Amino acid sequence: MEESPGEPLSMGTALVRTAFMVDAVYADSVREFDLTMQQAQLLCVLIPRPFGMFELAKTLGLAKSSISGLVDRCEKRGLVRRESDPGDGRAFRVALTDKGARLAEEFHDETTKRVAELPLGLGAAEQEVLVGLLSRMVADNHVPVVFTDSGCPSEQDGTER
């Protein structure tokens, strides 16, 4: 079935195609930065602060064994480190190394810039409406915080690395 340019799509089709479009930009970014999708997500989650393994698994939607392997691979590349959890002597948290923090912030900034260019064909008012609607969708669906508005931790929570 052929579509006419500009013909409205159904909600489901429009959202799936939007996801496909964003995923393509994200995939290009991870390749350019020599990361996997999951490595990039892990690094971006860790930008504001270290996370425990359970919290990481929950945020990224991964099984405990998958998170362990992901952290191991990133640790071998010098991007993350394990540190003791001050609240639980038996547990540890995962934190970015200096190398990982630089890569995470560079990847985050470049990827959000590229994705933000996708709706440039819309006017400023339309973009504002789109951001408002997407923000509500994200909040209503309790989407985990993988990407934030700023890759800079000091702007997010008042702390510095």
Mean of the per-residue pLDDT values of the chain: 88
Q: Can you give the pLDDT at residue 157?
A: 39
Q: Can you give the pLDDT at residue 2?
A: 60
Contact 142, 56 (CB under 8 A): no
**CA-CA distance, 101 to 98, in Å (whole number)?**
5
* DSSP SS3 for 66: helix
Q: Can you give the pLDDT at residue 67?
A: 93
In a domain, 161, yes or no: no
- Residue 101: give the domain boundaries: 21-143
Residue 5 confidence class, pLDDT cut points 50, 70, 90: low
Strand order in the sheet with 80-85: 51-52, 88-96, 80-85
Query: What is the number of domains present in the chain?
Result: 1
In a domain, 68, yes or no: yes
pLDDT 10s digits, 64-121: 889 999 999 999 999 999 998 887 778 889 999 999 999 999 999 999 999 999 999 9
Q: Can you give the pLDDT at residue 156?
A: 37
Q: Can you give the pLDDT at residue 88?
A: 77
In a domain, 15, yes or no: no
**CA-CA distance, 152 to 156, in Å (whole number)?**
7
Contact 46, 52 (CB under 8 A): no
For residue 47, which amino acid is it?
I
In a domain, 82, yes or no: yes
In a domain, 150, yes or no: no
Cα angle value 5/11/14 (rounded, 5°): 45
Whole-structure pTM value: 0.81
CATH number assigned to the domain comprising residue 52: 1.10.10.10
pLDDT 10s digits, 27-74: 999 999 999 999 999 999 999 999 999 899 999 999 988 999 999 999
CA dihedral 125, 146, 85, 98 (to 10 degrees): -90
In a domain, 8, yes or no: no
Residue 4 confidence class, pLDDT cut points 50, 70, 90: low
Q: Can you give the pLDDT at residue 158?
A: 37
pLDDT 10s digits, 151-161: 444 333 333 33
In a domain, 155, yes or no: no
In a domain, 58, yes or no: yes
* DSSP SS3 for 96: strand
